Structures are given as C-alpha cells and as structure tokens.
Chains A and B, each alone.
Chain A
Amino acid sequence: MTPAFGTDLCYLVAAPLFILALRWMSQPDTARRAVLAAVTGMVLAVAGTLLHPEVVTYKWIAIAAAAGFAVGFPLSRVPLTAVPERTGLSQAFGGMAAALVGAAKYYLWTQTGEMNSFRMAVIAGEVILGCLTCTGGLMAAGKLAEWISTRPVTYKGQNFVSFLLLGTAVFLGVKLVLDPTLTWAFPLIVVLALIFGVLLILPIGGADMPTVISFLNAYAGLSAVAMGFVLENKLLITAGALDGASGLILSIIMCRAMNRSVANVLFGAFGAVKAGAKAVEPRTVKSATPTDAAELLANADSVVIIPGYGMAVAQAQHRVRDLFDQLMKRGVDVKFAVHPVAGRMPGHMNVLLAEADIPYDRLVEMDDINPEMPQTTVALVIGANDVVNPAARSDKDSPIYGMPIIDADKAQTVLAIKRSMNPGFAGIENELYYANNTLMLFGDAKQVIGDVVKVLTGEGH
C-alpha cells in the first residue's frame, strides 16, 4: 500500500461524483442536485489531499484558502448580466494556477535532478496553455465588462505575428525538453505565452464573445489536464477533460449558431469592416404607439417574444415579466424564442429571463419555435437585431448570410422595439423593420414595455 492510498481512495469517489453532477445538469429538475454532487466530490478530494503524507505544513494553504474565500464570495454575488465577465476571470485564474504550479515544478525538479524529458514536455505544455488562458481570460473579461474596447483591434500581419510568438514558445519548449538545464528559455516561454493570450483576443469583436468564452473554457480545461500529467494526478486529468469537453461542445454550438468556422471567429475580426456599407435611401417604416401595441397583443391568440441582449442593457426584463403576466391572464399564449447566441455567453438569455421569474417551460429554442412562427399572431422583438434579420436567409451579400435566425418575419404581425433606425452593433441593415407586417415601437425598451403594461392594466380596472 502506498502512503497516498487514502488520498487516492478519496479521488476514486470524487471522479464519479463529478460525472454524475454533469449528468444531472441535463435538465432543470435535477440540476441543483448536480451542484451538491460536485461540491461533495470537491470536499472529498480536498480533504483527501490535505491528508496526503507529502503535505507537511498547513500555514500557507490556510492563508491562501481564506483569501480565496474572501475574493470568491463577492464574485458569486455579481449581477447576472456580469456572469460572462466572471467566467472569463475564472478561466484566467484557472490558467494562472496551472502556470504557477508548472513553473514551481520546473525549478524544483531541475534543482533536485528529478527532471526528465517527459516531465519537461508536459510542464512546457502546461505553462504555455496556462499563461495564454490567463491573459486571454483577462482580456475577454475586460472586453465583456467594457473596460477595454469591444471593437476588434486589427493590424497588418496580425496572425503572422501571433503565430510567430506561439511558434517561438513551442520551439523553446522543445529545446528545453532536449536540455532542461537551459534555464534562460523558461521565463521566455512564460512571457511569450502571456503575450500570445493578449493577441489572441485582441482581434475578436464583442459579438463573438459567446464563442470566445467557450474556447477559453476548453483551454482552461486543457491546462488542468496538463497539470494532471505533470503531477501524475488522475483526478485532475478527469476533471480537466470534462471541462475541456464542455468548452469544445459549447464552442461548436456557438459557431454553428453564427454559421462561422472556428478559424473565422478567431482570425476573421467580424464587425471590423462593413463600416462604409453603401448608403441606403431613406425608406419609410410604420410606427405604432404603446396603445396600439397593447391592443394588438391583448387580442392575439399567440405571442412570441424574441429578446436580445438589448433587453438586458435596457434592464427591461422585469417589465417584460409584467407584460407576460398580463397577457397570460388574458389567455394569450406567450412564449419566448431564445437564439443560441442571444446574450454574451452560451445560455445567457435563459438565465436573465429566469431571474425575472419567467417560467423556464416558456423559453423555447430557435429550432423548436421556427415551425410555429407562421401561426403566431404577434412576434415581439425586444433588443434583438441580427438574430431576426431575414437577410441571413435571402441576401447572399449580407455578412450574416447563412446564419440560422428566428423567423420573426413569418408571424402575422411583427412588433419591434428599437431606440432609432440606426443599424445595430454589426452595422447591418435589417429588412425586417421595413416589412409590410412590421410595426416599430420607438424608444427605450423598459419605457415602451412599461407603457404597454400600463395600458393593459388600465383596461382591466
């Protein structure tokens, strides 16, 4: 029996608990149980590790863990609109932890003479992945929180410079594998990987953040896996692989939802060009008042509400909930159509609507709602733009051509709330607003919906 037998036994129980947790995440009924399972697994693993015979001093562990609690608790109380930033930050921290452990092991093993080429190779991998996840996560968090410009920053030869850096880091890693005593090369790898992480996120625009955050999730998982290889820790490999798998799946879903390839998101700088799109002649749109809208909605059989991130920016969720209540009370069938990229990270819109107490059985995915759109009396578009732009289906020249959209235009009447006729974030003209069956409600989403609700409640008294 090895001295670490007890620790390994704890790990053996923790691993299936993590897997069960992810299984229970498949539906909301069992999801809270998932958290319980994962926490139990984590507590077991940490307890088992503290019992590990190699752990002889607890002072610094206790201080660092206390500091982690002090910072972690407030981070869990952020508003739900800030969840994407928190996720980016958490990926940065994960990457940092991996890089630090890798660096410590490098210096330790080169001093004690325990370094070998396998260990050196996995340490190089761990440090490169950890460092690029660290700065990449910080950059993504900064862009999401709008501390730094969300515009894609591009320059000539950008991809070449980025890959030259990464290539050099990998090359130095190979040199170190051949001769781990080249201590000058190690800090250089760290610096190169840190810069590469920044350059990786720099050219990516705000609209691509859901994809980027998913990619970083995969990198964070892989850096945990690399750490598992360095420490020969099987639980770390399992947990990291699960994290990496979720990042991979979410990235693929996000790319499909925007009809773009992985390479195109990373290197395409979407939203950078098209600024000088040809001037369109002024066209007329039909506008409606909140009273018209209230009447239309109250007399509808079915209403599909299509929310976009604009709704959250205007903080209109709770007014939308009031509208939902009023309409449901009148026997109108109200559903929400959620596009996979609505919000700033995968699934973000669902969380924002759930926070406003909208029951989750009313939230419908794009593929399930589209067949119902032609039978829908009113489609109400709140703060969404590109995801309802029919050009994605018909206009081959449009930058969003081929992107799956919610077929709002197929509803009998479309109500769209918008501040003004300025084209949206991506600067793409939206034909939906000029369609014959579309009525525009101009103004702030929160204000407009509030006015509609006022008319509806006024009628009731």
Chain B
Amino acid sequence: MYSGPPDMDLELLLTLLFIFVLSTFLGLDIIRRVSRLLHTPLMSLTNAISSIAVVGAIILAGQAHDALSTWLGAVAVFASTTNLVSGYLITDRMLRMFKRREVPKK
C-alpha cells in the first residue's frame, strides 16, 4: 500500500464541495429563467465563462517547475485563451443582432 504524505484535510474538501453544490443549485435556478430566444448565446457565454480554466493553466505555466508542466500548461493556456476570446466575441456578435421592431435598423 502506498504511503505518501497525509491526506488533505477533510475541512478543505468539504469547503470545495460546498461551493460546488451551491453554485450548481444557483446555476440551475438562474439558467432556468433564461429566455429560449437566447439559448445559443447563453451556451457561448457559459463556454466563455468556463474558460476561466485559463487561471489554472497560467499558474501551471508560470511556476517554472519543470519543462513538462510548463509545456502542458502553455498548451492549456492556448486552448483556454482561444475559448475565452472566441466565446465572448461571438456572444456579443450574436446579441447585437437581437433587435425589437421599434428600433430603426442601422
């Protein structure tokens, strides 16, 4: 049996689980109220928000531990930045198209 350093404290695990459960319930409740009209932009926006994974990638690439983790981190920064940039820009582009009749076009 492997014996490494002692396990992380249960308290931290519970805190993280607590955040996960609360965020999920909050998310379900808010997203249920999003108009069906906007489900496509909603999906691109939540995609863009989850590209917050970029922060994990930044820490990994910036720690300068060893070549492997720097490389893997850099590729992850690339992938997340791509999502971040294209996700926000395309959401905004789509939302700009939704107009009411009263608004004269262009």
A interface with B by C-beta (< 8 Å): 14, 18-19, 21-23, 25-28, 31-32, 34-35, 38-39, 41-42, 45-46, 48-50, 52, 54-58, 60-61, 63-65, 67-69, 71-73, 75-78, 80, 83, 86-87, 90-91, 93-94, 96-98, 100-101, 103-105, 107-108, 111, 113-119, 178-181, 213-214, 217, 220-221, 224-225, 227-250, 253, 338, 340, 343, 345-348, 350-351, 354-355, 357, 359-363, 365
A-B pairs, top 10 by smallest CB distance, nearest first, are A68-B81, A347-B39, A245-B27, A72-B85, A55-B62, A76-B89, A241-B23, A243-B50, A75-B86, A64-B77
B86 touches A55 (CB 8 A): no
Known contacts A38-B48, A104-B68, A244-B24; A93/B82 CB under 8 A: yes
B75 touches A64 (CB 8 A): yes
Please give me the residue from chain B that is nearest to A4 by CB atom: B59
- Among A31, A38, A55, A118, the residue within 8 A (CB) of B63 is A55
Chain A contacts of B58 at CB under 8 A? 46, 49-50, 52, 55, 61
A355 touches B97 (CB 8 A): yes
Known contacts A25-B41, A354-B94; A93/B79 CB under 8 A: yes
- Among B2, B40, B61, B86, the residue within 8 A (CB) of A180 is B2
Chain B contacts of A247 at CB under 8 A? 46
Chain A contacts of B16 at CB under 8 A? 228-229, 232, 234, 237
Can you report 25 A-B residue pairs in the complex whose CB atoms are below 8 A from each other?
A18-B49, A28-B38, A42-B49, A49-B54, A54-B62, A58-B62, A68-B79, A68-B82, A76-B87, A87-B44, A90-B51, A90-B83, A90-B86, A96-B76, A97-B79, A104-B60, A117-B7, A224-B52, A234-B15, A237-B16, A242-B26, A250-B39, A350-B98, A354-B94, A363-B37
The number of inter-chain residue pairs (CB within 8 angstroms) is: 390
Q: For residues 1 through 35 of chain B, which have their beta carbon under 8 Å from a beta carbon of chain A?
A: 1-2, 4-8, 12-13, 15-16, 19-20, 23-24, 26-28, 30-35
Besides A90-B87, A97-B57, 5 more A-B contacts (Cβ < 8 Å) are: A28-B95, A76-B88, A178-B1, A221-B46, A246-B46
Chain B contacts of A343 at CB under 8 A? 40
Known contacts A76-B89, A237-B23, A238-B23; A97/B44 CB under 8 A: no
A101 touches B56 (CB 8 A): yes
Give the docked Cα–Cα distance between A96 and B54 (Å).
Answer: 12
Main secondary structure of the interface of B (DSSP, over half): helix
Chain B contacts of A68 at CB under 8 A? 77-82, 84-85
Nearest CB of B to A17, in Å: 10
Give the docked Cα–Cα distance between A64 and B85 (Å).
Answer: 13
B37 touches A60 (CB 8 A): no
B27 touches A91 (CB 8 A): no
Chain A contacts of B19 at CB under 8 A? 234, 237-238, 241
Chain B contacts of A239 at CB under 8 A? 49-50, 52
B20 touches A225 (CB 8 A): yes
Chain B contacts of A54 at CB under 8 A? 59, 62-63
Chain A contacts of B6 at CB under 8 A? 116
Chain B contacts of A346 at CB under 8 A? 36, 39-40, 42-43
Nearest CB of A to B74, in Å: 4
Please give me the residue from chain A that is nearest to B99 by CB atom: A359
Nearest CB of A to B17, in Å: 9
Nearest CB of B to A344, in Å: 10
Nearest CB of B to A137, in Å: 10
Please give me the residue from chain A that is nearest to B36 by CB atom: A365
Nearest CB of A to B21, in Å: 8
A61 touches B77 (CB 8 A): yes
A246 touches B27 (CB 8 A): yes
A97 touches B62 (CB 8 A): no
- Among B5, B20, B62, B74, the residue within 8 A (CB) of A114 is B5
B95 touches A32 (CB 8 A): yes
Give the docked Cα–Cα distance between A27 and B45 (Å).
Answer: 14
Chain B contacts of A98 at CB under 8 A? 53, 76
- Among A26, A77, A242, the residue within 8 A (CB) of B35 is A26
